[in-house]
Amino acid sequence: MKNLGIIFRRELSSYFATPLAYIFVVIFLIINGIFTFDLGGFYLRGQADLLPFFSFHPWLYLFMVPAIAMTLWADERKTGTIELLLTLPVKLSEAVFGKFLAAWVLTGIALILTFPIWITVNYLGDPDNGVIIAAYLGSWLMAGGFLAIGSCMSACTKNSVIAFILTVSICFLFVIMGSPILLNSFPEWIPQLIIDAFSALGFLSHFDSISKGVLDVRDILYFILFIMSWLLSSAIVIEMKKAN
């Protein structure tokens, strides 16, 4: 666990040692503001809540998070530093989780910095802050799911652009799996049980439940197992690449 902390601090500090973290945070905050107050019709709705804010997060993460995740392993493989990292007395699981955790904390910092929107809502009305806190948690868990996919895709290639495209593509599939538009397009002869099972594999059904303030253990467990599964896949891919 000591090595995990070392890798986590190394990776997190490396983000802020370059403009990457600052650019990510600034763009994230600007786009969130545009989506919430302009496209989301915040003032036109006449309701003091953050529904417009969180409803855009799956689609915002679809492009923002892969931009962070694409460099997790691709750059290490491209420069050859992955061999040096894996020869150190560091477990592969520590390296995978440490890198992931640093990127996940970065997205968490970006989320926390949206607090002025939360303050604005409380100034204008009397929202259910318990629901808002739950939605923030759900949003962060969903970002972790995107990052875990990105970690695996980044481990598959030396090209960070390819890693980005692969991550966006796979994440898009998991987003639309729970999309009402897709679910309503199923033929009537398909049993509802199959449709529900298909929806349960996607992000939206679980995120929507948490964002409404319903902290169901099954939704939280879904994201945790999802993240761990993709991180395990990342470790397997890196081990296979090392063997070659």
Judge whether residue 43 has pLDDT over 70: no
Judge whether residue 47 has pLDDT over 80: no
The pLDDT tens digits of the residues spanning 143-183 come to 999 999 999 999 888 888 999 999 999 999 999 887 777 77
pTM as predicted: 0.90
Amino acid at 9: R
CA dist 149 and 65 (Å) reads 10
Scan for tokens 């990457």, then name that residue. 20
CA dist 141 and 121 (Å) reads 23
Amino acid at 63: F
User: How does the average pLDDT of the chain come out, rounded?
Assistant: 85
pLDDT for 228 equals 96
Judge whether residue 186 has pLDDT over 80: no
pLDDT for 200 equals 80
pLDDT (average), residues 11-22: 88
Judge whether residue 17 has pLDDT over 60: yes
Query: How many angstroms separate the Cα of 237 from the Cα of each of 16, 80, 227?
Result: 28, 16, 15
Judge whether residue 243 has pLDDT over 60: no
pLDDT (average), residues 47-52: 77
Cβ neighbours of 10 (radius 10 Å): 13
Q: Number of H helices and number of E strands within the chain?
A: 15, 0
Burial of residue 151 (CB within 10 Å: 0-12, 13-18, 19+) is: buried
| Percent above pLDDT 70 for the chain | 90
Scan for tokens 């996919």, then name that residue. 149
Amino acid at 45: R
The pLDDT tens digits of the residues spanning 68-103 come to 998 888 777 777 666 666 666 778 888 899 999 999
The pLDDT tens digits of the residues spanning 115-153 come to 988 888 888 878 888 899 999 999 999 999 999 999 999
pLDDT (average), residues 45-63: 84
Radius of gyration of the chain (CA): 19
pLDDT for 148 equals 96
Tokens of 60: 């915002």
pLDDT for 136 equals 95
Instruction: For residue 46, give the 3-state DSSP assignment.
Output: coil
Among the listed residues 13, 100, 114, the one whose alpha carbon sits nearest the alpha carbon of residue 65? 100
CB 176 within 8 A of CB 115: no
